[in-house]
């Protein structure tokens, strides 16, 4: 089982320049290899990431000598890992055809485990030296790789560690809970607990609109104009605001998923079709704030290290419409109805709590 610990870096100006160069080299190598891969597809030539890496290494000293100023891992892993995985996902129909990376949007590069060293609150990067980290590495185990990235002018390193998978709790000692994700509340638990989510998009909406208007008035706001320093400053403000919004969403999701996996042995959740739900313009912003997909992703990987079973109900399981007392299904239940009474046994239900209880029961019945 692999876990990643993302840590803030504090490089000095010289180090930050090196990191930016390494990101540029990785981006160039990715785009160069993508162009070569496209040509190979059009001509029917057999191609692979290893062929592309050898091809780039052959021409790099003469055609692109500036690539030698940074670690060789930056271009090599951009092709071997990033581009190769992009095509694997494309051929498996999990993603669209790979696109070219853009400066300012894809600022990252990776390192092999034998090319860097972590000691305390510092990491040693090839051809650069030691860079300060905000904290020590949290996990114990074999270090697999590291990915250094930039977000809103801040540098981070995500260190991936291979850890032993602990045994799951025995069925006889299970403490279970059902979790119903929603729009009005981030989550409702089967014990009646309601966790309210932070609507960060709504709270930042006015500021984001103002900053976008400010940037559009600056020189560079129109297509073809040279970007002025004030335009770049406005763009950086927007990037910082987006980073803040992402951090708020991530914080609330991490706290809830950590609490659930630490306090329960069995968790029942439903398989939501997030991509289809996002197509609704009325719900898209709220769903983005609640981070349904990220909630499930974090819950599943944290469960591996917390002795926790995760059972995912089929997306067609009518958790809201089934009475948890008698099992009767109320097909006439509308989306706007928050409370309803079972026509069979007369039990009064809160829609979300009833759904959470049904998810808990579903998990208990389907646990193997």
What does the pLDDT look like over 173-187, one tens digit per residue? 568 899 988 877 888
Residue carrying structure tokens 């129909």: 93
State residue 203's pLDDT score.
Answer: 79
> What CATH number does the domain located at 171-202+238-366 have?
3.30.420
For the segment 115-155, what is each residue's pLDDT rounded down to a tens digit?
999 999 999 999 999 999 999 999 888 999 999 999 988 99
Query: Which among 155, 179, 197, 176 is positioned nearest to 287, based on CA atoms?
Result: 197
Q: Is 270 tagged catalytic?
A: yes
Q: Is 352 tagged catalytic?
A: yes
Active-site entry in 145, 265, 270, 289: 270
Residues in Cβ contact with 235 at an 8 Å cutoff, skipping those fewer than 6 apart: 215
Tell me if 241 sits within 8 A of 208, measured CB to CB: yes
Structure pTM?
Answer: 0.73
For the segment 33-64, what is each residue's pLDDT rounded down to a tens digit?
999 999 999 999 888 999 999 999 999 999 99
Name the 3-class secondary structure at 122. strand
Q: Tell me how far CA of residue 310 lies from CA of 58, 277, 294, 362, in angstroms.
A: 49, 23, 15, 11
Q: Tell me how far CA of residue 131 lies from CA of 118, 142, 155, 220, in angstroms.
A: 10, 21, 11, 35
Q: Is 180 tagged catalytic?
A: yes
Angle (CA) 210-213-214 rounded to 5° is 85
Q: Where in the chain is the domain with CATH 3.30.420?
A: 171-202+238-366
Residue carrying structure tokens 């390494």: 22
pLDDT above 90 (res 330): no
DSSP 137-179: ----SEEEEEEEEEETTEEEEEEEEE-PPPPPPPGGG--EEEE
Q: Where are the alpha helices (DSSP H) in 44-123?
A: 49-63, 73-77, 84-91
Active-site entry in 49, 106, 145, 180: 180
Q: How big is the chain by its Cα radius of gyration, in Å?
A: 25
Active-site entry in 49, 145, 265, 352: 352
């Amino acid at each position: 089982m692999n876990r990643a610990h993302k840590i803030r870096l504090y490089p000095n100006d010289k180090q930050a320049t090196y990191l930016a160069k390494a990101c540029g080299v990785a981006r160039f190598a990715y785009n160069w290899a993508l162009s070569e891969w496209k040509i190979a597809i059009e001509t029917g030539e057999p191609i692979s990431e290893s062929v592309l890496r050898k091809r780039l290494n052959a021409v790099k000293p003469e055609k692109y000598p500036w690539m030698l100023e940074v670690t060789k891992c930056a271009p090599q892993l951009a092709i071997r890992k990033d581009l190769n995985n992009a095509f694997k996902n494309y051929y498996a129909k999990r993603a669209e055809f790979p696109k070219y990376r853009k400066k300012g949007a894809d600022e990252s590069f990776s390192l092999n485990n034998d090319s860097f060293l972590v000691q305390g609150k510092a990491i040693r990067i090839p051809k650069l030296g030691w860079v300060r980290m905000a904290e020590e590495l949290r996990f114990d185990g074999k270090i697999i790789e590291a990915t250094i990235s930039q977000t809103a002018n801040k540098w981070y390193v995500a260190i991936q560690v291979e850890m032993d998978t602990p045994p799951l709790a025995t069925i006889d000692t299970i403490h279970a809970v059902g979790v119903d994700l929603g729009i009005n509340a981030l989550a409702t638990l089967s014990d009646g607990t309601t966790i309210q989510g932070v609507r960060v998009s709504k709270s930042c909406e006015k500021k984001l609109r103002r900053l976008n208007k400010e940037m559009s008035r600056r020189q560079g706001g129109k297509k073809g104009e040279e970007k002025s320093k004030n335009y770049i400053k406005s763009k950086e403000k927007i990037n910082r605001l987006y980073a803040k919004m992402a951090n708020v969403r991530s914080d609330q999701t991490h706290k809830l998923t950590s609490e659930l996996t630490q306090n329960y042995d069995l968790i029942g959740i439903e398989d939501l079709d997030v991509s289809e739900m996002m197509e609704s313009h009325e719900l898209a912003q709220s769903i983005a704030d609640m981070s349904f997909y990220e909630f499930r992703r974090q819950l599943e990987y944290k469960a591996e290290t917390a002795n926790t079973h995760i059972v995912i109900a089929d997306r067609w399981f009518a958790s809201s419409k089934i009475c948890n007392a008698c099992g009767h299904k109320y097909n006439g239940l509308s989306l706007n109805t928050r409370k309803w009474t079972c026509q069979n046994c007369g039990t009064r239900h809160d829609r979300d709590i009833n759904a959470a209880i049904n998810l808990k029961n579903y998990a208990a019945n389907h646990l193997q």
